[in-house]
Structure 1
């Protein structure tokens, strides 16, 4: 019995000594992080990645995508995506709100709506946009969405919108099912709002910012992250090694880049719009608002005969 009791006391003493040793090591590590510099990978003014001490390093502003080298196939893919995203927005100078696109006074017309259509036929819809003074607009650039749908069949399809740059648009649908097919058109953004968005995209590409959390032991730091970071602070390079997509975070003051544990959206920069520009982004007025039809907003589609297919 006494032997077992002695062994238990010896085990407890060894455990206590071990805990003291671990505590001393942690305290020493914290002091080291507080007073010493940490070696990290950062980017110098020439855009090269080098390993050095973080303290005292200065560099020029750097955007990772400016230094990317694309293959011919990647360049073709990039050009194709940019072409698909390009919108022809007319340069008409400053436009007052009353002369911007008003979805409530705009309208669409189904061409040949009285005719019977067959499955697979093309349906054409003409859209005419007007301003808040109910005057026809003389230029295009609006972001319209159009679709056909059937509540009974729970079916739907989108249309191809063609902008004639004179206030008129034509939408082309392929009729994919028989029965009663309804047409819906909505204004997502007026052309005046799209011009503002394009300006923000060029002037403030970092208006949506992100953050990462770095943690080691009891020390935690949060820094801003993006593909392009301004200023002369050291960076952590988190570029995707497989795709080459650039991504950087400001280097924490006390922690290494390898201590990053999570990533999240930080928010949006505020106060980027003037009062006049804000009028183009009013919920319930000119953002994602329906455009009414002038006449029937539906057509009847009949099945194709077997011989016709």
Structure 2
């Protein structure tokens, strides 16, 4: 086994142990901070510099994507005008492992001057930041995983974990759902999976045939529609669907029959507001390639597996 592999495992085990320590000894103010942020009428202003700044940006992004309005403000830029981004109703989350970061001085002073709630996130309970803050998220002071005690590794992992804990506690407090999440994630694979059937389905040129349509005509509808099925309707409601499998099962005397005689009755359907990913799961479970989309019993669209592929869902 290589020295590099041993080192990698040692680092991960050290950081994992640190997270377990934090989970077993959560900061006493955690509940109060969640209450404070949940009740805030403004935004969470997350700030920090250096490696803490990088983690602060990620925490702000995670909060914002899960329903908590948040913004990263660089402490150096704050001293040159960006303090104006902090206003009434905001909560400041200041991150500093040592709690003595001089670059945070002006933001901290601004919160004291204008009565903006300040939450300190640090491993030093007795530091200037933590003594000044209204609420303290104190992290356990544990050795860095670098082995020389200088490279932010364990400390940044703990800070990131605390940020995730806050974000998830807040999203559950707000009953934040997958549907809400999709609003902030319209792009990429995740956005595609959060899309609704109504956003992907075909609305025009639906392969609909009446129940008493001769199969000679129903076959033309199946082949011309390009979906490989015909949806059989009776009085505007879906009665059944005709697929290639139905044709094979009814080859004897097929052209002497009517659509209602060949159709599979009460087929599985999709609703327009169904998640596209859920529709894909239905297709996979039933081993089918097409779903008729219905509002109530009335067909309003067709969803093909190729549509899901093009949209990036499958």
Alignment TM class, shorter chain as reference: under 0.3
TM normalised by structure 2 equals 0.20
If each structure's helix is expressed as a fraction of its own residues, which one has the higher value? 2
Max radius of gyration: which structure? 1
Question: Which of the pair has the greater relative contact order for Cα pairs under 8 Å at 6+ separation?
Answer: 1
